[in-house]
A and B are shown apart, each in its own frame.
Chain A
Amino acid sequence: MIPERWLTFAVLVGLLAVALGALVMDRPFTITLATRATILALAAVGLNIALGQGGLVSFGHAAFFGIGGYAMGILAHHAQTFTPLELGPLTITGTKSMPVIWLTAVVASALAALLIGLLALRTSGVYFIMITLAFGQMFFYFAISWSAYGGEDGLSIYVRNDFPGLNTLDPIQFFGLCFTLLCLVLLFAGRLMRSPFGLALNAARQAPERVETVGLDPMRLRLLAFVLSGAVTGLAGALFADLNRFVSPAMFSWQLSGELIVLVILGGVARLIGPVVGAIAFVTLEHVLGDVTEFWLIWLGVALLLVVLFARGGIVGLVARRGHG
Chain B
Amino acid sequence: MAEPLLATRGLTKSFGAVTASEDVSIDLRPGEIHAVIGPNGAGKSTLIRQICGGLTPDRGTVTLLGRDVTRMGTVDRARAGLGRTFQISSLAMEDSVLENAVLGALGAGGTPWRFWRPALASADLCARAEEALEKVGLADHRHTRCGDLSHGQRRQLEVAVALTLRPKVFVMDEPMAGLGAEGSARMTRFLDGLRAEAPILLVEHDMDAVFALADRISVLVYGRIIATGPQEEIRASRAVREAYLGEAS
Residues of A within 8 A of B (CB): 191-192, 194-203, 206-207, 209-217, 221, 224, 324-325
Contacts and interface: CB of A to CB of B under 8 A. Distances in A.
Interface residues of B, number: 44
B161 A215 contact: no
B78 A195 contact: no
B125 A214 contact: no
A210 B94 contact: no
B96 A213 contact: no
B229 to A, nearest CB: 30
A214 B116 contact: no
B115 A214 contact: no
Contacts of A197: 112-115
Interface of B: 52-54, 73-76, 78-79, 83-84, 86, 90-96, 99-100, 102-104, 106-108, 110-120, 122, 125, 161-162, 164-165
Nearest to B162: A213
Contacts of B96: 324
A222 to B, nearest CB: 12
A270 to B, nearest CB: 9
Nearest to A205: B92
- The A interface, classified by DSSP as helix, strand, loop or mixed, is helix
A202 B104 contact: no
Given A192-B115, A213-B74, A200 B106 contact: yes
A196 B93 contact: no
Given A195-B115, A214-B108, A221-B112, 15 more contacts: A191-B118, A194-B118, A194-B119, A199-B95, A199-B112, A203-B95, A206-B94, A206-B95, A207-B92, A210-B90, A210-B92, A212-B54, A212-B74, A214-B165, A215-B108
B75 A212 contact: yes
B114 A195 contact: yes
Contacts of B125: 196
Contacts of B73: 212
A203 B112 CA distance: 12
A211 B115 CA distance: 18
Contacts of A213: 52, 74, 78, 83-84, 86, 90, 162
B93 A206 contact: yes
A195 B79 CA distance: 21
Nearest to B53: A212
Contacts of A221: 112
A201 B115 CA distance: 11
A214 B118 contact: no
B74 A216 contact: no
Contacts of A212: 53-54, 73-75, 78
Contacts of B122: 196
A203 B93 CA distance: 9
Contacts of B106: 196, 199-200, 214, 216
